[in-house]
Amino acid sequence: MLKSIVEAAKIIGPLLPIIAGLWVLTKYIIEKARIPSAELDIECEKLGGKGKSQIIEITTTLSNKGTSILLVHDLKIRLKAILTGEDTIENYNDDKKLGRLKFKNYLTDNETSKNNAKNRGLISIVPHSTFVMPNVSQKYSYITSIDNSVEYVFAHVQFSYFGEINFIREKIISIGHFLGLIRYKLKNVSEPHTVQRAFKVNK
């Protein structure tokens, strides 16, 4: 028994510095440096109106709660609506959105996203990557006009922690998770960080 333990130690021993180095790399360089804690919120304010349109301002607040710079990629917004003239409202009944209120009308849309259900209506708030310093709350404004018939606005905002995930970073995260050094998988950090809120604008 003791002999087996000694032989195992001889095999594992040389690997310990590599495992320790991988843990430091994943925990403090990738996780804490590239994925600091962030808080995302949305506010909507009606500024006024002209003719058949009303002007609204959507303010996204991105707060960096971590100790390193928060890199922000692909900060985007999607706006949908319920109109005053709609007689009925309904909820989704599919598994992913079960029970959530359905907003059928897109206020943000473009030709390139109409045939892509996942990305339909998503437009950039900031057309480039940006950053937020530690302990700073950065505000991003999106001002647009909507028809007076819009009564409720649904706002969806998202950003990505990572831009393009290269091969080396992908393998480090995969190995780190396999060895139990980190709790998240690649798909956990590659999905956008999102927030959703609804507002009544036509009072």
Instruction: Note the pLDDT tens digit of each residue in 88-121.
Output: 888 888 777 778 899 989 999 876 666 677 788 9
Identify the band that residue 87 occupies on the pLDDT scale cut at 50, 70 and 90: confident
Q: How far is it, in rounded angstroms, from Cα 40 to Cα 93? A: 27
pTM of the full predicted structure?
Answer: 0.73
Residue 178: per-residue pLDDT: 57
Q: How far is it, in rounded angstroms, from Cα 32 to Cα 41? A: 21
CATH top-level class for 38-164+184-200?
mainly beta
What does each C-alpha distance from 201 to 10, 46, 85, 124, 127 come to in angstroms? 69, 6, 14, 22, 27
What does each C-alpha distance from 169 to 100, 165, 185 come to in angstroms? 36, 6, 12
The token duo for 87 is 């007689």
Residue 126: per-residue pLDDT: 93
What contacts 185, CB < 8 A, 6 or more positions away? 173, 174, 177
Q: How far is it, in rounded angstroms, from Cα 122 to Cα 23? A: 36
Backbone φ and ψ of 16, nearest 5°: -60, -45
Residue 58: per-residue pLDDT: 97
CB atoms within 10 A of CB 1: 5
